[in-house]
Each structure stands twice: as C-alpha cells, then as structure tokens.
Structure 1
Amino acid sequence: MLIVSEAAVAELVGPDDALAAVEAVFAGMADGTARNFPVVREALGHADALYGFKSGFDREGGVLGVKAGGYWPGNAARDLTNHQSTVCLFDPDTGQCRALVAGNRLTALRTAAAAAVSIRHLAPPDAAVLGIVGAGHQAAFQLRAALRERPFRRVLGWNRHPERLEGLAAVAAEGGLPFESAGLERLGRDANVIITITSSFEPLLRAEHVQGPTHIAAMGTDTRGKQELDPALVARAACFTDEPEQAAALGECQHAVAAGRLETAAITPIGEVIRGRHRGRGEGAELTLFDGTGVGLQDLAVAALALRRAEAQGMAREVAL
C-alpha cells in the first residue's frame, strides 16, 4: 500500500489540476459513468465534531474509494486545521487497498475547484465584482480558484470576525486586486459572483441583499441543519448542484425544499451544463445558485491524480498492510 502525504499533495496538485479533475467528474456523473454512494454524516456528540464518509466509483477513471473525516471546530486552538480527512483508494478489480492519501489540502482544493467550475459555467459573463462570505481555512483556496476564472476588478469580503479578512486581502493583492471589507447588504448588492464558505447554522445572505444578475456558489452547507442563505433567496434562483438528492437532504437547498419552496426535481446537476444538455444561466435567469454539497467522487478524482503523480516522481511511500 502507498501513502501520499500532505506535503506531497501540496507539491503535486494545483488549483488548475483540481478544477480539471472535478469538472471531469461532474461530467461523468451526468453521463452515468461515475456514481457516488450514500453519505454518512453525523454529529459525534464529542468535541462538537461532525464526522462522516463519502465514497464512490468512477468506472471510466478506474477510481474506487472513500474519504473519511469531518470538522473539529476546536482544532484551531490546537494549531490544527478544523477539517480533517483521509482518502482511501482501492483497486476496483480486486478490492485491495492501493493507497492512503492525505485529505486536508485535497479537500480545500476540490471544494474550491467545484465553486470555480460553477463560476466558469454559470456566472454572468460580465461579472466584475467578487464577494466572499467567510474567512476560514478554505476561503483563501476559494478566492484563488475564483480569481483564475474571471477577470474580476475588485473583491468584497465579510466575516463574523473582520480581523480575519486580512488573509483574503493578501490573496486578492496577489492578483493585483483591491479588497474591501463590506457588510452583507452591500456585498449582496454590489457583487456579481458570491462565494459563501462558512460553517453557519443560520442564514447570512437574505433575499433582499442580492440584487441584479448574480451567481452564488454556496459551499459551506454539507450537513443537516447548516445554512448560509435565506430560503427565499434559494427559491428565487435557478438551482444547480453536484448531487440533487444530496442537495435536497443536507445541502443549502434543504431548507427551501423543507419549506415547500423548491422541488428536488428543479435542482439541476451541473454536469448537465458541462455536457451542454442544459443552457445553464440562459437568458432568463437573473440569479443562479450552485449548491456545493461535496461528493466523494471529487475527493477521489483529486486523490487519484495525486497518487499517479506521487508514484511517477517517487514521492509515495510504500508500506506493508
């Protein structure tokens, strides 16, 4: 069995690599050649942690595996990343365990890549202002990936603790863009693309905040009860996602579905847009939403890429199981 470390993943896989892998997986899901299995996602009742499993099989890619991990909100005080996970890859022909791939950076890369894919296919073509809600560990990955997709002219940011926005300001400066701290009302009014990446359990962006042609990538809600958007805002949008049933059960769409304001059948897999079978934003959609719930195939695709490169460059450590 091979082991690929966090340091190796950081060296071997970049934002463009992750985007290409995730976009291909979404297309494969739409074609029926890649399939996610039911998610297990539970509160432990210990350390305020959420823990679970995401798994799947990509027939064409020959990738089978599972990501185990979750969210430990107390880790920051221990100088650890709150999101902790590991990917286990299996040989689909024999069931033998092929590799363990460190999943922390990988998770941040694939989450940012999914939002970037949605921006590529759903954002207004003349989007000039990017808004980002949240400034945790994954926010910098989100911002870097988004800035590679459109020629934004400025970035607006909001966080419950405004002092943490300094990190995002530095990322924006890397791209030569001005960054401003903004209230949610102003951010919703001025931004053409908005990324939400928080662990909130109450709506932050409300229907009255968002005005004009806008695309929202809601990336924080992946568990029952979590929420970043007002259900009225979700109900107003043309909704897209990675996995419709998952979005309705534990993604941002869960609240609008529960309130009877959105039908699961009205949530479109983004793979249909990638494959050209759905027009995406179209001419009549002023507001689009991508509900990024996170599916196992995203993790597996990026982990498999990291493994291939680690093997080729002698950076995978072999151990006897």
Structure 2
Amino acid sequence: MDYTSFFYSIAGCSATIIAIIGGFIASKLISISADRDKILDKIKEIEDELDMKTRQYNEAMEELNADDAFGFVRDNISMLIENKSIDVVYKTEEKPCLDYNVMEKYWRRALDICKEIVNLDEDEISNVNSDKVPVILANKYVNDFDYRVCEKIVHEIEKNTKKRNSNSFFANSLIDADDIVPQTAGIWYHKKRSEAEKAELRIEELKFEKKQYEEKKRQIKKPKGMKSGLSIFVAFSILGVIFPLICALKNSIYKFENLCMPIVALIFFGGCIFITFVYLALLLRWKNVDMEVTRHESNSPEGKL
C-alpha cells in the first residue's frame, strides 16, 4: 500500500506545531534577553550610584575624622610637643571619638609636624603668614588638619616660650595662643555628620537593591521551561518530521505491506502532541505552584519565627 501521503501529512502537521513551539521559545528567549539587558543596566546604575555615595561617605568621614583628630591633638598638645607616644596619650576609658588605629595615623602626622617645626631655623620662623604660621610650613601643609595642627603647635610653643622668656623670638613673631578659638562641633560638624549618615543609609539601600537584582540575574540564567521546551522541539523534529519523511522515502521505494510503520509514526506524532500540551499546561501552573510554596513557607513554624 502507498502510505507516502500519510507520512507527508504527519510531517506537515508536525512542522506546523514545531513552528509554533519554535516561535514560542524564540519569543521567550527574546523576552529573557530583554529582561536581562534591563537588569544589567539597572545593576550598572546601582553600581555607579553606589560608587558615588561611597566616595561621598568616605570624604565626609575623612573630614569628620580629621576634625575629631584635631580636637584630640588640641586637647593633648603639650604631650605632643613632648613627643609622647599615642600609647601613652590614648586612653580608652575616656571614650575617645576615634578608634585607636585611626587616631594613631593622625597622631603620627602631628608628631612629624612638631618635629619639623622644632627644627626650623630663625629665618624660616621669621617669615610668617597672616595666621602667624611660618610660610615654609603653610606652603607645605595645605591639608586642613595638618595646617591647623601646625598652627596650634607654633602657638603652643609661643605660649611655653613666653613663660620662660618674654623677649624670645617666638613671643615676638606669633600671636598669643589665647587668641585661637578652639573649633567646636557646631553647625558644620552636625551637617557633615548628617550627610555621612544619609550616605551610609543610601549605601545600605543600594547594596540591598543590587543583591535583589543579582538574584534576578541568576534566575534568568536558568529560565523555567526553556530546557524542556528545547527538548520537546528536538524530539518533535526528529519523531514528527524526520522519521515520517524517512518512512515516506522508503515507502516510495519499497511499498509497506502492513500498518507497522504508519502506526509507529502516528504514535510518535500523538505522543509529541501530548507532551507539548502537558508542557504548556505546566507553564500555566508555575505561578500557582510558586504561590502555594510561598504560602506554605509563611504558614510553617519556621516561617512564623
């Protein structure tokens, strides 16, 4: 008997269904690719803002640390001039504003400035700016902390020198230490502290957002149903198109005398259609399953804790 047209009909129907499945998979992959690009763009935006906020936070904290460190140096200026180690000056029971490691860095800088001031010759000391700070030091220590420490040290030296000799060169060159008003934690300090806290809070929010988008990106790498869909696409192509075409080719050469090959081809075709419908039905149930899992987790004893 001639089953060639039968095999061609199965191959044609299968090709139509394959085209539908292929279109579905292609549209899904395009949608996934678009979602992935959006997520990557969002992660890039978060990272850029995170870098900016981190930089703002670090700058604000550096200014606050420098101000706190200057207050510490100012309160212990006599011990600084005596070249005391930070281990002697730093007392944890007094609840200092800065951590030991941070304060040690600033204290060493102050010690270096103090040593350099002591080693200045008479000509270098005589050439001072409007703050009565030697110009050679003012040009070198442009940083606010270094400059203020330098200013405080030279006036403390003047104060001590006045006590020993009212006609000393320091006494004539520098203003009285009492003219210096210590900087207190005023409006600037509280404003800067507020900026740092807001930046820190925003950094935590951005890190949380980035973590969420990273999780979405990981989920996109393993989209639900894509592997199954591709497997059905391949199986349908082989069993529903290639196999019937081979049977049609053989039937045109060797006429089949029984229904064995047509029945097998029909079973393959029906099986592929059945699997396709099951696959599509499962796609529709994913959302409900996810909701049931979430509900189960929320109702579990662990979820209530």
Same fold (TM over 0.5): no
TM-score, with structure 1 as normaliser: 0.21
* Structure having greater relative contact order (Cα 8 Å, sep ≥ 6): 2
TM-score, with structure 2 as normaliser: 0.22
Instruction: Specify the structure having the higher radius of gyration (Cα).
Output: 2
